[in-house]
Amino acid sequence: MVFIENDKIQANVPNAWVSSMENFIVKGKNAEIWDSEGKRYLDYVGGYAVLNTGHNHDLVIEKVKAQLENFSHSCFAFAPHENAVRVTQELNQRYPIEGKTKTFLVNSGAEAVENAIKIARYFTKRKSVIAFTGGFHGRTYLAMGLTGKEKPYKEGFGPFPEFIHHVPYPYEYRGITDEFVLSEIKSLFENKLNPSDTAAIVLEVQLGEGGYIPTSSYFIGELRNICNEHGILLIFDEVQTGFGRTGKFFGSEHSGIEPDIVTLAKGIAGGFPLAGVLGREEIMDSIHDAGIGSTFGASPISCAASLGVFEAFDNENILDNANKQGELMHDYLNSLHEKFDFIGDVRGFGPMIGVEIVEDKKSKIPNKLKTSEIIENCKNSGLLLVNCGLEGNVIRFMGPLTTPLDQVNEALTIFEKSLTN
């Protein structure tokens, strides 16, 4: 077969943006997509954890169509619209921070992170920020600086802002304990960075691109204590862990620890571009007039889609289904962990699961080649997966939370068969 679509892609877009798929995607519904040759796939990439409510959820499409009948765009700061206000109300009411919060809507996770840091530095009148090795916060310049994965995201693009400091991320499987990381933060404060000049600590409550590694409640609690002691703002990057991805509506609910600012995106609008920065009222209101803004942020179309997502979660038991998925997947994948010596670890909150592939359990040497072979075998058999991790040897599952359990079983069966093909 000559893959004409792939030839068109290679001829017209940068090499760094070329897909591994040979054909165009032409149709999607919930967890299933079809390409231009009619081949069906179970989509466990989900637009990189965007499609928590699946492809073309009925409520999302219904609300988008209704909004298109009225108007397609306004710049919110000049001509506000109700959809945006309703989305901010939903977020402010739902996010578990005690006291009043406010939300600023933008377009993407990277944009949300950039604004979160900007707001934190302005509010505290401090410049330094602490982030974590393996963290991923976006590809724009400041977000890329915060990102703690050098290859492929940062290589060749530096230098990055000197006010960003990285410490290790807890990684029990690799012997990086909570206590070790806390000691590294203490050492950073003692030898290099004055805590009184530190504006924020930025954390993914479960590492995404860095390897799908969940954090412990103890560790997050200790970060909260450090921040409280030194007047530092705690920022949760929930771009990927929000909107049910971890089995709870927000990832922070696993620890019960409250941030001061949170970034949200991906699953917020069912595949439409929308993101938000939510924070305590006194922080968000500290910015001077026109100090934050966005031409396309709070798009009435995307906000309509987001309202469809909220309604779906409220009426369709999506979190229940997500947790059933998570339980089923953990049980199945842990059985494979016992069966295959090259499966080193299975981990994650709820259905946000990473499977680490190694040479063998004893050596724990990362095996990126085997990881790529498994992913390719899965694709050829109709299951889409991608890798992550500092060594590219972790397979992550990001299917819609609305996936029927029979299709979850189908995906797991394909995955198991692909381990030995």
* pLDDT averaged over every residue in the chain: 96
Q: What is the mean pLDDT of residues 385-406?
A: 97
The alpha carbon dihedral of 70, 75, 81, 85 has a sign of positive
Task: For residue 8, name the pLDDT band (cuts at 50, 70, 90).
Answer: confident
Both structure tokens of 174: 């690799």
Which of 348, 371, 386, 352 is closest to 418 using CA atoms?
Answer: 371
Residue 10's pLDDT is 80
pLDDT score at 21 = 82
pLDDT above 50: residue 147: yes
CA dist 161 and 249 (Å) reads: 33
pLDDT digits (tens, 9 = 90+) for 131-142: 999 999 999 999
Confidence of residue 1 (pLDDT cuts 50, 70, 90): very low
**In 3-state terms, what secondary structure has residue 104?**
strand
**Position 6 pLDDT exceeds 80:** no
pLDDT given for residue 347 in this prediction: 98
Q: How much of the chain, in percent, has pLDDT values that exceed 70?
A: 99
pLDDT attached to residue 4? 59
The CATH class given to the 61-315 domain equals: alpha beta
Give me 336's structure tokens.
């494979």
Cβ pair 211, 354 in contact under 8 A: yes
The whole-number average pLDDT for the span 70-90 is: 96
What residues does each domain of the chain span? 4-56+317-418, 61-315
Which pLDDT score, from 0 to 100, does residue 151 have?
A: 84
* Shared fold status for 4-56+317-418 and 61-315: no
Q: What is the DSSP letter of 72?
A: S
pLDDT attached to residue 104: 98
* Average pLDDT of span 373-392: 97
In this predicted structure, the answer to whether residue 16 has a pLDDT above a threshold of 90 is no
Q: How confident is the model at residue 2 (pLDDT cuts 50, 70, 90)?
A: very low
Q: What does the pLDDT look like over 159-191, one tens digit per residue?
A: 999 999 999 999 999 999 999 999 999 999 999
What distances in angstroms separate CA 173 from CA 84, 214, 344, 355, 366, one per listed residue? 42, 11, 9, 12, 12
How many other CB atoms are found less than 10 A from the CB of residue 175? 8
pLDDT (average), residues 246-266 = 98
Count of CB atoms situated within 10 Å of the CB of 7: 11
Residue 220: CB atoms within 10 Å = 23
- Both tokens of 84, joined, read 């945006």
Digit-coded pLDDT (tens) for 262-279? 999 999 999 999 999 999
Contact 401, 321 (CB under 8 A): yes
Mean pLDDT of 23-45: 96
Top CATH class of 4-56+317-418 equals alpha beta
Higher model confidence: residue 88 or residue 14? 88
Give residue 97's pLDDT band: very low, low, confident or very high (50, 70, 90). Answer: very high
Rounded mean pLDDT, 98-102? 97
Instruction: Output the pLDDT for position 23.
Output: 86
What pLDDT, in 10s, does the model give residues 365-376? Answer: 999 999 999 999
What is the pLDDT at residue 3?
A: 54
Judge contact between 303 and 281, C-beta under 8 A: no
Residue 188 is predicted with a pLDDT of 97
**Cβ distance 167 to 133 under 8 Å?**
yes
What are 34's strand-pairing partners? 27, 40
Work out the average pLDDT over 76-95. 96
